[in-house]
Amino acid sequence: MLGAIATAFYVPYARQAPEGPRGSTAVGLGFGVAAAALMAFEWLLNARKRVPTWNLGKAETWLKGHIWLGLLAVPLALFHSGFHLRGTLAAALMIVFVVVILSGVFGLVLQQFLPRLMSLAAPGETIYEQIPHVIETLRLDAYEAVAAVCGALAEAEGERAESEAIQSDPRRARQVLGRRPAAAPAEGSAPLRRFYLETVRPFLMGDGRHGPLADARQAERLAQGLLRLLPPVLHDAAGDLIAIAAERRDYAVQARLHRWLHGWILLHVPLAAALLVLLVAHAVLALRYTY
């Protein structure tokens, strides 16, 4: 509605202005002041987030205002300039403004679709900040699942030491699967041991995006091949390893989508700050040379 009203003012103004629409005219200056006011208002959302105890309305209302008023500033800025960029500073201001708007729209789209995609692609998602801790627990779970049938693994020194420390402390013993290493390797357990040391453990120690277990289909093929090499009595232990790898894969997906969901802010906010600086410089120079 406000955009339509602004357009209704601009069209006859643009047709009747002797030298065409310019920012230095009264109407052009009015559009510029309105656009600048909206740009300044956009920063109030940042203040609202920093001081949530202020009783200034619902955050959802502020966010909607941030979106729609930011979009409204686009035609107002164009009407102010008469769709012409006169001077380097004005051009830089408009370019930064457009990038800020586009990055904001990009972030809005991400926030609409990524949470739903995250729930589908990473059903085992957890609190983002807890992911490193959960991954460490998965590493211990995987070690104990294998050690329970293969015996203690000297090659996995870190997991072995941590597991032994937990096993000796009853208060921490429930943090992992709680399986004690077998006194001797179970018959036919060599493929399970090799699969853990060569495939599962490196995957759990990495970022979850590389290696054969990073792809669900390839992981399924490896799992089927492993089960064919193991006696039925060891299938449960193999299943534990595959499930742990799948959970680690989910956390890798969650972390990647989380970075997409929040990473755009790293572009949007600094550019918005630069926009305000350019806006002030533009206003000062315009007033200086106009008056």
Q: What tens digit of pLDDT does each residue of 69-106 get?
A: 888 888 888 888 877 777 788 889 999 999 999 999 99
For the chain, give the mean pLDDT: 83
Q: Which two tokens stand for residue 41?
A: 């208002």
Residue percentage of the chain with pLDDT more than 90: 30
Spatial contact of 241 and 156, defined as CB atoms under 8 Å apart? no
pLDDT at 231: 94
Q: Which residue in this structure is represented by tokens 């699969």?
A: 195
Where do we find the tokens 């966010």? Answer: 63
Q: Which residue has the tokens 């200086």?
A: 288
pLDDT band at 120 (very low <50, low <70, confident <90, very high): confident
The reported pLDDT for the residue numbered 245 is 94
Q: Cβ(42)–Cβ(77) under 8 Å?
A: no
Name the residue ranges covered by the structural domains of the chain: 2-122+263-290, 128-261
pLDDT band at 27 (very low <50, low <70, confident <90, very high): confident
Query: How distant is the alpha carbon of residue 145 from its chain centre?
Result: 33
CA 226, 233, 165, 142 torsion-angle sign: positive
Over residues 196-229, the pLDDT tens digits come to 999 999 999 988 888 899 999 999 999 999 999 9
Pairwise pLDDT comparison (197 vs 5), residue with the higher score: 197
Asked if 42 and 74 touch (Cβ cutoff 8 Å), the reply is no
- pLDDT digit string, tens, across residues 252-263: 988 888 888 888
d(CA 77, CA 92): 13
Report yes or no: 231 and 187 within 8 Å, Cβ to Cβ.
Answer: yes
Q: Residue 184 corresponds to which tokens in the numbers above? A: 């001797």
Say what the pLDDT of residue 169 is.
64
Closest to 114 measured CA to CA, from 251, 263, 258: 258
Cα gap 245→222, rounded to integer Å: 12
CA atoms within 13 A of residue 13's CA, in its CB half-sphere: 20
The token pair at 156 is 């996995």
Question: Is 195 a residue whose pLDDT tops 90?
Answer: yes
Six-digit token string for 182 = 């077998």
Write the DSSP symbol of residue 152: -
Give tens-digit pLDDT for 29-47: 888 888 888 888 877 766 6
Total residues found in the chain within this entry: 291
Instruction: Give the burial string for 129-152 (b: 16+ CB within 10 Å, else e).
Output: eebeeebbbbbbbbbbbbbbbbbe
Residues 55 and 83: their CA atoms lie apart, in Å, by 40
Angle (nearest 5°) at CA 208 between 203 and 210: 75
pLDDT of residue 170: 62
Measured between alpha carbons, how far is 249 from 266 in angstroms, rounded to an integer? 26
- Range scoring the smallest mean pLDDT among 110-119, 185-194, 209-218: 110-119
Question: Under a CB-based contact definition with an 8 Å cutoff, are residues 130 and 260 in contact?
Answer: no
173 pLDDT more than 60: no
Give yes or no for residue 20 having a pLDDT over 70. Answer: no
Measured CA to CA, the distance from residue 288 to residue 291 in angstroms comes to 6
pLDDT at residue 178, rounded to an integer = 55
